[in-house]
Structure 1
């Protein structure tokens, strides 16, 4: 090969070597492409190896991957990613904040305790600053995330409601449902605005999924908003598709109609037939809501309550305090324990679980459980004494009705606890003033 050809060949190789050296922009784009195709584990692996190169877009993409495909390992790396994501919140606005809020809430509901408090504080602080920049769909996502993560500040809730009022005519039906669900979950009390959201929901009820239909029923009932045209539309949709609603959707609709006292005989019959099929599929919250709803509506059909009781026995350890008290009240109220075929050990099983959680029971829980035990004349002196002691600790939290219920229940149960009688007497006198 001649010298000229050798020189030319060398220059060609040098140009190839120069081309092989990728620019920082090219490397960032390549990383983004890998993240876009990654699942949760792969995204965490990339973050673990190249976190220094992660910019805002990379963090948001990695968070979405983890939310869509929960990782099976690397909890430490996940914690680092969450901390990085939260640190970005003060500089995010609009679609980026909504995307991060959705990912954060989705991850934290699946990974219990993983960055929940930090994420909730960051999002709560960011909302008043950016609420005015959010589009209706973004506002809905942020409200949903706040409701999932924590009990946000009054300032954050007020900012969402204020901006949502300005955009009320621009919410799609599904967005209106999600926003109503979030505000109800956060116990935002704005009846006028919730009525407006109910109107927006009514306009598109025919295109709602069954899940969103159940969420709509629950949300407006939780907010004590009775929009009769909307409930009639939900009723019609349910009657037309009752066998297609899953257990949790069914529980939300049954509870909503009971809470708003809006059910008729045709609906009650359909509720019972649907629940007979779906009872084994209900989770703890669904079982508590359905049992309370049926008892409140005066439905005490033995076969249905037997099936609900059997399902409750299977998942008793998963019930929280409020669910246990609601379930106890419902079965005692319905007299289900006296019906042929019902298992009388159910209330005892509820009481056993409640005894293990007695220190965490609130005043409402104590009231409902004490009333239920008294009605069933349950022979559990040890637990009843602990329950009465808890009632003394919660004296200031009882309303007049709860106080009267407790006084009657513990009297029927012949329970003597130091301080109980004087507490009941003092609170009774205070309530009459």
Structure 2
């Protein structure tokens, strides 16, 4: 049979001519690889071949295609490779959601298959799957990752270093909590860290910090292992390493020191994110490394255009937190921020302006740009970001009304969302900017009062300070809640947690508001004496002032405050603090005996030898007290209020001679209206503020000081013409609480003045506002004056004879600061023919014409009063005073040395005559205002002191500041022929001359 077949084949092949095959003849196509199959089409693929397909895939979609085509033949290793390779594919965030949606079923199938084989996977595969799921961001795979973490607990010893690092990194990246696994890793691999490469050390530390796992011993081991090989770390690994330690606040000073030394010459290797993270880590760890920050700043400034918004914000925050002021960097950051503020998220805006405010960077353009952006996008901001933003603008002192209006709106709309710290920051910010929006503080009070017990000491102090600063109507309610909380929680020693500044701010707030906080002050007084040694100068002043004006001072506290004040030195205290300590010194002299110390009072180590029951110091050292008194004296008001001027006018209509805005010697208090014991013998002394307090902001301004020359004599019968030694305080709303109770500061001032021998009348604003007519106002003042009992009250002192010699001498020394200072100031004013308006306009006697023959004290200054005194009294000597020899004598200026006529051409014009003439000129000559009248009075005083006849002056003689040629012509015409008399009007004089 086979032979037959062979024969047939041969016959067939030999039949016909042979045909040649063309090289272009069509051949069947080659069976090459098809998509998804590589070179394995046409035959079943094994696991190794599928792995090769997965490794050669160039996109996430092609990996999905391999799984779809060969899912039934996928082995364990193939699933691990698929997830690992999927995690390494770069999928931009905008395409990630589309990818997950398109491959939802495929991914779910792959995840289910993986989940079913976790129990038998090797460590390498477990780590690879977890790493891939975490990197690709597949949230549905988190359940599988947790199963992997549980499986790893049973075979952790079999994991290699890289596998451990990858597994914990993946869990942290996915945000999954696996505390048991992390504890096991920290416990079992601490002694294997020598197996870890730099990247693995860095990734492991990052994973623990990202998961918030505290493992001090493990982190210490990582630091010890990393330090010797820091040179092998890449820039990113260095940044991640220090970031990790800073995040979990694990102290590693040597690691940070060595990393800083390694990073400084390599700063150029860091990208923008790493530069920001590096600075953030060192700031967060509170590790001082100024040289490193300067190197980072030098590298960052020319590359800020590469920084993302978050990186810019982190860099600014880091430098501000570290306290590194790099002006060039902050200026560059501000320029970038202004142009890209619309790209910043709410947290990034908040952090940036917080950083600039904290660093004190003077970049107003940044704040203005931020104010507009925040105001427009306030609904995007979280409550913490709103509070931080308000705090930043208040700290920087930037006026942003629109921003604060938006903050107030959000506070009303979202009041239940703000926590206590945020409420405190908002209250502080509004108070710092002096924004007294009443409903906002009511809202803050309503939200805070029920939760005061949860406030930290700083929050309590800041909230109290804020409400007191703006005089919020609800301040009393808030302070009452604070007092209840603090007194009730004394067993928990909450008050002992207060810092010095917080104690000082709290008591200052209570004293400023006038809150009834006796129990709180009583409790504070038991332990504050032992804490005073740590008080800063402003804390000393606030505490001493608060306890003094509320009359809650205790002997132990007074002794401790005196000792701390002396230790600090007078130069340590500013103007305001010096004024507060002067009142404290007045309290030492006038308010003792103080309340007794409690038996549980903790005494300070200094002053040595002080025991409970001892008498506190009677006053501060003389030189220091003089310095503080000088500070009080130069605090002259800028101007009198309209209410004050109205009372002064009514008093003038009664014919009562008085002086406005006068400072009482020794007490240092500036009083609204003073009726002097004897205006002739107790002349106001005109001083330059710089002579008393060179550091004062008001240096160069003039102020007037008066000291009572002799005890007042009781009038018999009482008559307004005999009223003397009276202080009239015109008290506006600030002097009272909402229920119209006087504030402690006002009460203290009146109390001290009374104890110094003055009769004090207080005119409340609400009483005066009810008087609609001048007659009613005069009747009110007459009634108050006639009710004065000029007999000394029990416990009160006769001024100043009843004062100690030491205090009297101090008062006299500070009263005028020496005759030379007074003469210098007066001579400078007189020679320059300057307007008395250069003095405090409010510090002048009333200018209304007298009624009933009662002389009103003129405004001609000390020189005019000396002229008046000699012309009126002649050679009559002033009544002697105790210690009169110690009193510096005021000499007249050189320009007024000739007080009496020496020839026929000289005319003796006394002070009353000069004042009367000028007052009538002010009335009769149109165009002379009060200010110009002051200038005219100064000019007339100088000319009268030279013996010139004011009735025969030329137009040129009358010209002075404010009085030009045209106005001088009217003055010369009106004054022509005037005689040196203090009574009658010019018109009467002219009529008399015409009649003659």
| The two structures share one fold, judged by TM-score above 0.5 | yes
**Residues of 1 paired with 2:186 and 2:372: CA distance?**
43
2:59 equivalent to 1:36: no
2:150 aligns with 128
TM-score, scaled to structure 2: 0.38
Aligned counterpart for 1:205 among listed residues 212, 230, 236: 230
2:332 aligns with 307
2:451 equivalent to 1:422: no
CA contact (8 A) 2:81 2:128 kept: no
Q: How does 1:262-281 map to 2 (within 5 A)?
A: 262-281=287-306
2:84 aligns with 64
- The CA deviation at 1:184 is 0.9
**Residues of 1 paired with 2:327 and 2:336: CA distance?**
14
Q: How does 1:370-385 map to 2 (within 5 A)?
A: 370-375=390-395, 376-379=398-401, 380-385=403-408
CA contact (8 A) 2:379 2:410 kept: no
**Residues of 2 paired with 1:372 and 1:5: CA distance?**
108
1:3 aligns with 5
2:326 equivalent to 1:297: no
1:119 aligns with 141
CA contact (8 A) 1:328 1:369 kept: yes
- The CA deviation at 1:241 is 1.4
1:12 aligns with none
**Residues of 1 paired with 2:229 and 2:81: CA distance?**
32
2:257 equivalent to 1:232: yes
**Residues of 2 paired with 1:135 and 1:262: CA distance?**
34
2:282 aligns with 257
Larger deviation, residues 368-377 vs 180-189: 368-377
CA contact (8 A) 1:35 1:61 kept: yes
TM-score, scaled to structure 1: 0.81
2:872 aligns with none
2:128 aligns with 99
2:271 equivalent to 1:246: yes
**Residues of 2 paired with 1:6 and 1:127: CA distance?**
75
- The CA deviation at 1:95 is 0.9
CA gap 1:271/1:64 in 2 versus in 1, 3 angstroms: same
1:46 aligns with 66
**Residues of 1 paired with 2:4 and 2:238: CA distance?**
81
2:368 equivalent to 1:328: no
**Residues of 2 paired with 1:5 and 1:170: CA distance?**
78
Structure that is richer in helix per residue: 1
**Residues of 2 paired with 1:272 and 1:29: CA distance?**
52
- The CA deviation at 1:298 is 3.0
Q: Match of 2:90, SS? A: coil
2:273 equivalent to 1:287: no
Larger deviation, residues 349-358 vs 278-287: 349-358
> What are the superposed Cα offsets for residues 102-123 of structure 1, whole Å, 9 maximum, x if unpaired?
2122211xxxxxx32x233432
**Residues of 2 paired with 1:382 and 1:254: CA distance?**
35
Aligned counterpart for 1:388 among listed residues 399, 411, 417: 411
1:112 aligns with none
2:367 equivalent to 1:344: yes
**Residues of 1 paired with 2:104 and 2:257: CA distance?**
47
CA contact (8 A) 2:353 2:367 kept: no
CA gap 1:153/1:383 in 2 versus in 1, 3 angstroms: farther
CA contact (8 A) 1:280 1:308 kept: no
**Residues of 2 paired with 1:183 and 1:155: CA distance?**
12
CA gap 1:302/1:160 in 2 versus in 1, 3 angstroms: same
**Residues of 1 paired with 2:379 and 2:233: CA distance?**
42
**Residues of 1 paired with 2:336 and 2:166: CA distance?**
34
- The CA deviation at 1:141 is 0.8
1:13 aligns with none
CA gap 1:362/1:199 in 2 versus in 1, 3 angstroms: farther
- Number of residue pairs matched? 405
2:712 aligns with none
CA contact (8 A) 1:128 1:159 kept: no
2:193 equivalent to 1:172: no
**Residues of 2 paired with 1:94 and 1:353: CA distance?**
53
- The CA deviation at 1:100 is 1.3
Superposition CA RMSD, Å: 3.2
Gaps of 5+ in 1: 8-19, 109-114
> What are the superposed Cα offsets for residues 44-84 of structure 1, whole Å, 9 maximum, x if unpaired?
23334444443433333333333323366754354344434
CA contact (8 A) 2:54 2:81 kept: yes
1:407 aligns with 427
> What are the superposed Cα offsets for residues 229-261 of structure 1, whole Å, 9 maximum, x if unpaired?
221221122221122221111111111222223
- The CA deviation at 1:213 is 0.8
- The CA deviation at 1:210 is 0.7
**Residues of 2 paired with 1:333 and 1:309: CA distance?**
14
Q: Which has the higher contact order (CA 8 A, sep 6+)?
A: 1
**Residues of 2 paired with 1:285 and 1:47: CA distance?**
39
**Residues of 2 paired with 1:126 and 1:318: CA distance?**
40
CA contact (8 A) 2:172 2:211 kept: yes
**Residues of 1 paired with 2:176 and 2:409: CA distance?**
30
Q: Match of 2:189, SS? A: helix
CA contact (8 A) 2:390 2:404 kept: no
CA gap 1:27/1:225 in 2 versus in 1, 3 angstroms: closer
CA gap 1:155/1:245 in 2 versus in 1, 3 angstroms: same
2:661 aligns with none
> What are the superposed Cα offsets for residues 276-324 of structure 1, whole Å, 9 maximum, x if unpaired?
1232222233222211111123334444223223434555455454433
Q: How does 1:73-88 map to 2 (within 5 A)?
A: 74-87=99-112, 88=114
**Residues of 2 paired with 1:253 and 1:97: CA distance?**
32
**Residues of 1 paired with 2:68 and 2:7: CA distance?**
47
Q: Match of 1:187, SS? A: coil
- The CA deviation at 1:350 is 5.2
**Residues of 1 paired with 2:326 and 2:196: CA distance?**
42
CA contact (8 A) 1:316 1:350 kept: yes
CA gap 1:391/1:27 in 2 versus in 1, 3 angstroms: same
Larger deviation, residues 209-218 vs 145-154: 145-154
**Residues of 1 paired with 2:145 and 2:275: CA distance?**
32
> What are the superposed Cα offsets for residues 136-187 of structure 1, whole Å, 9 maximum, x if unpaired?
2212111111121114244444344344336344333321211111111111
CA contact (8 A) 2:268 2:299 kept: yes
**Residues of 1 paired with 2:359 and 2:372: CA distance?**
17
1:11 aligns with none
CA gap 1:173/1:371 in 2 versus in 1, 3 angstroms: same
